[in-house]
Amino acid sequence: MHVLIDAGALCVETMIEKGVSAPDVLFLTHPHFDHVSDLDRLANSRMRGIMVQRGARDFEEKEEEECLFRPLTVIGTDDCLNHPLDGVRTRFGYLEGLVRWMPIPGYDLWHSVQGLDGPDDFAGAEYPFHLEFKALPVRHSKHAPGSCLFIFRFRSDELRDRSGEQGKGSLLFRNVVISGDLKSMEDWVIKSPDLRDPACMVLDSNTIKASGKYHASFEENKALIRRWCSGDEEVLVLLNHLSGFGDYRDGNYDHVPDDEDWKAAVEEFVPPPMVTVRIAEDGACFAPPQFD
Ligand SMILES: [Zn+2]
Ligand SMILES: [Zn+2]
């Protein structure tokens, strides 16, 4: 199963360049343009890709057509998708049919991708994992209603089969946390046990030191890393959304920090034991130890 988080511009090119298959499910953290601007091209290119890949031209049998051309499932909070002014659906509603909008029914509840009135089977493919997720609200910008972070967890099919009940298999892997854009979180969110010692977490780190209005800095994220990582488990922390402009504006640097500056900042930080912090480079492949 290919799960994509957010669809900002160049994601289609990057996936083609890297030979990554079209996603089955798209999760949206919030409706800002830099996170959704490629949604139209993604939905169209994906359908075109499916047609070419399957050599399908024959639309005669309705059932088969539905199975072959399963729309892209787009999952986001209700406000992220449906907000009357800023919701993604407000701008991309015309993609209905190429995508299937799936608002998340509530925060802090585990949902199963397979069980959310969704892609119960992915036409012919075999997936070894049962994917579950939950959304927790984050503070970002007033023009990004419904901003959230996602926590994913995976259950093994094998165990699920043995228990004989869907979704009741033993937990096999630790959580994966994807922050989306965030400035801060309410206290109850920060305290969520689901954020403790994940296998991997991706954090929005817009600046190195400068405290911005809408995004967390690496400095602020250090506090989160120390809080969430006990030091008893291996955790891979990836920093993304790097800009650094605020560091230049605030005089922390006499230039906008470049790759070397970011690298130096990461190297200076001493995280808790067993925690690795890295910059998420474009197109790079990362695997937490337990996924190797
Ligand atoms: Zn944003
Ligand atoms: Zn952003």
Instruction: Express each pLDDT in 161-219 by its tens digit.
Output: 444 555 455 556 789 999 999 999 999 999 999 999 999 999 999 999 999 999 999 99
Contact 199, 235 (CB under 8 A): yes
Closest CA to 77 of 157, 180, 146, 164: 146
Question: In the prediction, which pLDDT does 152 show?
Answer: 95
pTM: 0.89
Residue 229 identity: C
User: Which ligand is the nearest neighbour of the Cα of 204?
Assistant: 2
Ligand 1 centroid–CA 30 distance in Å is 7
Task: Compute the distance between CA of residue 243 and CA of residue 239 in angstroms, rounded to an integer.
Answer: 11
What is the Å distance from ligand 1's center to 245 Cα? 15
Q: Please write the tens of the pLDDT for every residue from 56-74.
A: 665 555 555 556 678 899 9
Q: Answer yes or no: is pLDDT of 108 > 90.
A: yes
| Neighbour-count burial of 165, counting CB atoms closer than 10 A to its CB (0-12 exposed, 13-18 middle, 19+ buried) | exposed
Distance 35 CA to ligand 2 centre (A): 6
Report how far ligand 1's centroid is from the alpha carbon of 99 (Å): 22
Confidence of residue 128 (pLDDT cuts 50, 70, 90): low
Percent of the chain with pLDDT over 90: 68
- In whole angstroms, what is the distance from residue 270 CA to residue 226 CA? 10
Q: What is the pLDDT of residue 160?
A: 46
Q: What pLDDT score was predicted for residue 21? A: 87
CA gap 281, 201 in Å, rounded: 14
Closest CA to 218 of 199, 196, 234, 241: 241
| 225, containing H or E segment | helix 218-228
| pLDDT of amino acid 120 | 47
Structure-block tokens of residue 174: 């630790």
Question: Which is more confident, 43 or 54?
Answer: 43
Closest ligand, as measured to the CA of 80: 1
The three-class DSSP label of residue 140 is: coil
Ligand at shortest distance from the CA of 30? 1
What is the number of the ligand closest to the CA of 144?
1
Ligand 2: centre distance to CA 33 (Å): 8
Looking at all shown ligands, the one closest to residue 214's CA atom is: 1
With left for phi above 0 and alpha for psi between -120 and 50, is residue 84 left, alpha or beta?
A: alpha
Q: How far is the CA of 251 from the centre of ligand 2 (A)?
A: 23
Assess whether pLDDT exceeds 80 at residue 231: yes
Q: Let me know: does 208 contact 219? Beta carbons within 8 Å.
A: yes
Distance 95 CA to ligand 1 centre (A): 22
pLDDT at 121 over 90: no
- Can you give the pLDDT at residue 244? 95
- Residue 271: burial class (beta carbons within 10 Å; 0-12, 13-18, 19+): middle
Which ligand sits closest to the CA of 6?
Answer: 2
Quickly count: other Cβ atoms within 10 Å of residue 35's Cβ: 25
204 alpha carbon – ligand 2 mean position (Å): 8
Cβ–Cβ contacts within 10 Å for residue 48, how many? 11
- Enumerate residues with CB within 5 Å of ligand 2 (an ion): 34, 181
pLDDT digits (tens, 9 = 90+) for 88-98: 999 999 999 99
Q: Which ligand is nearest to the CA of 35?
A: 2
Measure the CA–CA gap between 229 and 177, rounded to whole angstroms: 12
Give pLDDT, residue 112.
Answer: 84
Q: Which whole number is the average pLDDT over 244-264?
A: 96
The arithmetic mean of pLDDT across residues 110-116, rounded, is: 76
